[in-house]
Amino acid sequence: MRVRVIGLGTRFGDDAAGLLVAEGLAESLAESGLEAVSCGRPVDLLEALDGADAAVLVDATRSGLAPGTVHEPAPEALCEARPVSSHGLGVADALALARALGRLPERLAIVGIEAERTEGEELSAAVRASLLEARERVLARCRAFALPDRALSSATFARLRLAARRPTLESAF
C-alpha cells in the first residue's frame, strides 16, 4: 500500500505548519517505505494524490478553534464543501476534483493545525508548540493505513516517533 503524507501551505506564518511537519518526517518515512511530499498550491495536490492508496494531508486551518489546536476534520466534509474562494483552487476544490477524476485515495485523513496568523516569516508560539502533536497524529494515521498490507511494527513506529522528534528544523521547533 502506497501511503503518502502531503504537507500543504506556504512559507508565510502559520501556513507553513503543514509543510514543516511533512518535511520533518520525510527522511524517516522514506526509510520505512512511506512517502512525504510538500505542496505549495492546492492545484499541486492533484498530482501529489495520484497513485497513492492512502494519504494523510497536514495543513494549517482556520476553523474557529483556538490557535495551535490539532484536529482531524472529516475528509468527506472537505470533499463536499462549497468553494470559499473567489479565485484559484482551494484544498476543498482540489479534493472534490480529485474525487471526480478518480484520483482520490481510498483512504484519506486530514490533520489540521489551527493557525493564528498567516503573514510574516515565523510561526506563532501556539502553532510552533503544536507541531510535535501534529507529527504524532500523522504517524498514527500512517501506521493505521499501513497495517493492512505491511504492518508497521511497534519497533518501526517507535523509531519513526523518535526520528520525528529530532530538531531537524530548529527554527520551527
Q: Between β-strands 107-114 and 54-61, what pairing exists: parallel, antiparallel or unpaired?
A: parallel
Distance separating alpha carbons of residues 133 and 113, to the nearest angstrom: 9
Residue 27 pLDDT > 90, yes or no? no
Position 173 scores a pLDDT of 37
Position 79 scores a pLDDT of 59
The rounded radius of gyration (Å) of the Cα atoms in the chain is 15
- Tens digits of per-residue pLDDT, 146-159? 865 444 444 554 55
Do 36 and 22 meet the contact criterion of CB atoms below 8 Å apart? Answer: yes
pTM attached to this predicted model: 0.82
Q: Determine the number of helices (DSSP H) and then strands (DSSP E) in the chain.
A: 6, 5
Look up residue 87 and give its three cell numbers: 479565485
Collapsing DSSP states into helix, strand and coil, what is residue 116? coil
Distance separating alpha carbons of residues 28 and 159, to the nearest angstrom: 8
Q: Which fold has domain 3-165?
A: Rossmann fold (3.40.50)
Domains of the chain: which residue ranges?
A: 3-165
